[in-house]
Amino acid sequence: MSGKFRAARIALALAPVIALMACDQIGRVLEKVGAPETPGPAALSSVAPEARSMGGAVLMPDEAMALIVAPEPVKFVPGEILIGAKVDDELAQAASELGMRMMSRFAPDGSPQMLDQRLEAKAIENAVEEATRDARTVLDRLKVDGAIIVNPSGVVKIDLTPANTASPIGLPRFAQAAAPEAGVEPAEAAAEPQAVVDTGQRCPRNVTTAQLDADLTLKTICTLERLQASRQFAYVEKNYVVDVGFDRLPFFSKKKDGSTTPTSTAPGTTAPSAPANPGAEIVATGALPNDPLYAFQWGLRPRGTGAGQSPGGAGFESFWTSARQVGRRAVRVAVIDTGIELAHPDMRSNANIAPGIDLVTDYDRAGDGDGIDRDPNDVGDACGAGKENSYHGTHVAGTVGAAVTNDKRGVAGGAWNVTIVPIRAIGRCGGELEDIVNAIRWAAGVAPAVTEGGEQIVNANPADIINMSLSVQIPCPASMQSAIDAAVARGAVIVVAAGNKSNAVANYAPANCRNVITVAANDARGGLAFYSNFGPGIDVLAPGGDVFADSDGDGRPDGVLSTRTTTKDCYDPETRQAAQTCHYGFLQGTSMAAPHVAAALALLQSQYGVRGRELESLLLTRALGPIDANQQCAIECARNANATPIPGSPGRCMRQCGRGMLDLARAAPPGAAPVTPAGGR
């Protein structure tokens, strides 16, 4: 008996040691399989009000919903025409002279084909010189004065505005305007940028020089038709106005309780310099971000109906925790938009943000007192008195990764550790096609930008991924397609928003351009959002939100929450009281869906070490979940006149909504280590 008692006493004494060893062993096993360390978001009570207050109320439908999907007139800038030099013809001629076969920007299989950059530069120079001479000949025949302005990217612009026609070389319109007065908000200082509705007007057969001189719009149309008829150019087109698709609701927004809140414009800020040298890489631990508002970011959750999931989620959380991948700083995402609020409290200390550029040339549209410069700060895009600035680019960039993640402040980004290159190409009342085309080329490192003082600005961080959350209801402009093709040939993947008019995506650029990934918007319930464009051209369905719904009953709209300074409907979720200003807000739109896809591409590139066509293929084959069209893409016909009736289902209509729904969980191998490709890219 004494021996048995002795053995029992020894076992009892060793029990704590055995337990500790077992716990340690279990911990090592969990670490190997990538089990997440789950402290989760910081408690709201533990952070300052400015780090948690957010803007946005659940809106009532009816009139506001109708305004969102109502058609908008297409506008262009009178007096301006974009013409394309025949660069490919020059390349073919150069190849022939060198005894080479015809060169193309794409190989027969559709993959990028790199050209000799010196040969390409010379071909662009020769083509531009020829296009300039031909344009001058046409203007002389028409007896029209016009300045010919050449961009470094090879796009040639004819400016017919009276202020610029005295010189045969010409200066852009921004050189003729004055800076805003001191103490006056830029959005209020300048007149609305000049633009006219495109009515499809044609040039009269017997138009006179006097008639052209008296009507700038007519002069533009007649000159454009003569230039097209000459067949001397790759393309000839109007300088269209493109919008970011921000739903500018009426001056008073109606809440669920029927009260109203006046819309006001967020105060302007002085932008600090963006960090020139990125900081240390963020190490993925498998933990969830501690940003206090992460709980409201349903689009980043795993897709599903269980606890901690969302039917509309895109699976980012699974990628962070299972693959232990939050991105690499070497991956570069350019955001072509309204710029970003560089002084935003969740951005001003972010080493992810690389030096960007402001490419808005027109002073009235820029609102910052100058044209092209190195400052991508968003000074506002409001159009008309009493309208709200969207700070659209800040919201979009925050979703990608410009918001500092895991800092116990505000929101999380999709890719915590990625280089964001902010490009301001949208200003007051929209952006101009010329500026957006130049932005695409600059983003991919195809061509530098030139300031009005003659300084060349080269992009030191050519983009792997380009996000364009913007739209205009026109066929894909040839100038835009040419820029997209050139960027893709450099290895960039271009993500674009489908548009928010509940209509066929084939009618909207750049979503209808080739060589882009077109993204439609799903709501928090997983269905195609009521406003989203649709059709065979959609590639991916991703979180875009619905500010008219509150499917989880948290009292906040089912929009996408991201960085955006506003004073509208500000709310402190901890005290449940109104706040005076907030730096985070809910928006809805395919504009919000596209950056989810851009962030997903950044994570996939970081994990698998591929880019360009391989990266695009990886997204479309590995990171998309199935769509139940009858459940997710159908709608009551009364809510969408553009949808197709479903045979045998009275009152129900179908909208094609993509190859699949973004779901990063499918592309996240458990416990996988990140890949470092050769060359560090």
Can you give the pLDDT at residue 171?
40
Mean pLDDT of 176-186: 41
Mean pLDDT of 228-240: 92
CA–CA distance, 591 with 514 (Å, rounded to integer): 19
CATH code of residue 562: 3.40.50.200
The answer on 543 and 631 residing in a single domain is yes
Q: What are phi and psi of 192, to 5 degrees?
A: -60, 135
Can you give the pLDDT at residue 532?
95
The answer on 328 and 237 residing in a single domain is no
For residue 638, the enclosing domain spans 296-680
Query: What's the pTM?
Result: 0.86
Mean pLDDT of 368-384: 91
Burial class of residue 679 in the structure, from the number of CB atoms within 10 Å of its CB (0-12 exposed, 13-18 middle, 19+ buried):
exposed
In a domain, 266, yes or no: no
Mean pLDDT of 520-538: 96
In a domain, 59, yes or no: no
Predicted confidence (pLDDT) per residue in 29-85, tens digit: 333 333 334 457 888 989 999 999 999 888 876 667 777 888 889 999 999 999 988
pLDDT higher than threshold 60 for residue 265: no
Can you give the pLDDT at residue 224?
95
Confidence band (pLDDT; 50, 70, 90) for 116? low
Predicted confidence (pLDDT) per residue in 138-153, tens digit: 888 888 888 998 887 7
The answer on 237 and 328 residing in a single domain is no
CA–CA distance, 506 with 517 (Å, rounded to integer): 13
Active site residues: 337, 392, 591
Among 114-118, 271-275, 380-384, the minimum mean pLDDT is found in 271-275
CA–CA distance, 76 with 216 (Å, rounded to integer): 12
Name the domain boundary from 242, 273, 308: 242
| Of 663 and 679, the one with more pLDDT | 663
CB atoms within 10 A of CB 252: 11
The answer on 377 and 473 residing in a single domain is yes
Confidence band (pLDDT; 50, 70, 90) for 180? very low
Instruction: For residue 300, give the nearest of 506, 612, 577, 40 by alpha carbon.
Output: 40
Radius of gyration of the chain from Cα atoms? 27
Predicted confidence (pLDDT) per residue in 519-528, tens digit: 999 999 999 9
Among 98-107, 351-360, 506-515, 540-549, the minimum mean pLDDT is found in 98-107
CA–CA distance, 265 with 381 (Å, rounded to integer): 10
Mean pLDDT of 398-414: 96
Predicted confidence (pLDDT) per residue in 622-642, tens digit: 999 999 998 999 999 988 889
Can you give the pLDDT at residue 61?
66
Predicted confidence (pLDDT) per residue in 444-485, tens digit: 999 999 988 889 999 999 999 999 999 999 999 999 999 999
The answer on 317 and 169 residing in a single domain is no
Among 87-96, 226-235, 266-275, 286-295, the minimum mean pLDDT is found in 266-275
Instruction: For residue 537, give the nearest of 522, 556, 557, 516 by alpha carbon.
Output: 516
Confidence band (pLDDT; 50, 70, 90) for 117? low
Which residues are CB-contacts of 171 (< 8 A; sequence separation ≥ 6)?
Answer: 147, 149, 164, 452
pLDDT higher than threshold 70 for residue 320: yes
In a domain, 495, yes or no: yes
The answer on 306 and 168 residing in a single domain is no
pLDDT higher than threshold 50 for residue 168: no
Which residues are CB-contacts of 601 (< 8 A; sequence separation ≥ 6)?
Answer: 333, 464, 465, 493, 495, 615, 616, 619
Average pLDDT over the chain, rounded to an integer: 82
Predicted confidence (pLDDT) per residue in 1-18, tens digit: 444 444 444 344 434 333
The answer on 191 and 114 residing in a single domain is yes
CB atoms within 10 A of CB 35: 16
**Which range has highest mean pLDDT (191-195, 357-361, 385-389)?**
357-361
Name the domain boundary from 226, 242, 258: 242
Q: Count the domains in the chain.
A: 2
| Of 269 and 498, the one with more pLDDT | 498
In a domain, 254, yes or no: no
Predicted confidence (pLDDT) per residue in 28-45, tens digit: 333 333 333 445 788 898
In a domain, 412, yes or no: yes
In a domain, 283, yes or no: no
pLDDT higher than threshold 60 for residue 110: no
Among 104-113, 146-155, 355-364, 378-387, the minimum mean pLDDT is found in 104-113
Among 246-255, 265-274, 314-323, the minimum mean pLDDT is found in 265-274
| Of 388 and 547, the one with more pLDDT | 547
The answer on 314 and 203 residing in a single domain is no
Mean pLDDT of 96-112: 53
The answer on 112 and 223 residing in a single domain is yes
Mean pLDDT of 231-236: 90
**Torsion sign over Cα 364, 152, 491, 512:** positive
Can you give the pLDDT at residue 125?
76
% of the chain exceeding 70 in pLDDT = 78
Instruction: For residue 369, give the nearest of 170, 169, 183 by alpha carbon.
Output: 183
**Torsion sign over Cα 443, 564, 193, 544:** positive
Can you give the pLDDT at residue 96?
65
Residues present in the chain in total: 681
In a domain, 144, yes or no: yes
pLDDT higher than threshold 70 for residue 21: no
Mean pLDDT of 654-665: 95
Q: What are phi and psi of 300, to 5 degrees?
A: -95, -10
The answer on 419 and 549 residing in a single domain is yes
| End-to-end Cα, the chain, rounded Å | 71
In a domain, 47, yes or no: no
Which residue has tokens 């890219």? 681
pLDDT higher than threshold 90 for residue 111: no
The answer on 320 and 192 residing in a single domain is no
Predicted confidence (pLDDT) per residue in 564-604, tens digit: 999 888 999 999 999 999 999 999 999 999 999 999 999 99
CA–CA distance, 317 with 665 (Å, rounded to integer): 8
The answer on 457 and 370 residing in a single domain is yes
Can you give the pLDDT at residue 31?
34
| Of 244 and 62, the one with more pLDDT | 244
Instruction: For residue 471, give the nearest of 499, 495, 494 by alpha carbon.
Output: 499
Mean pLDDT of 256-275: 38
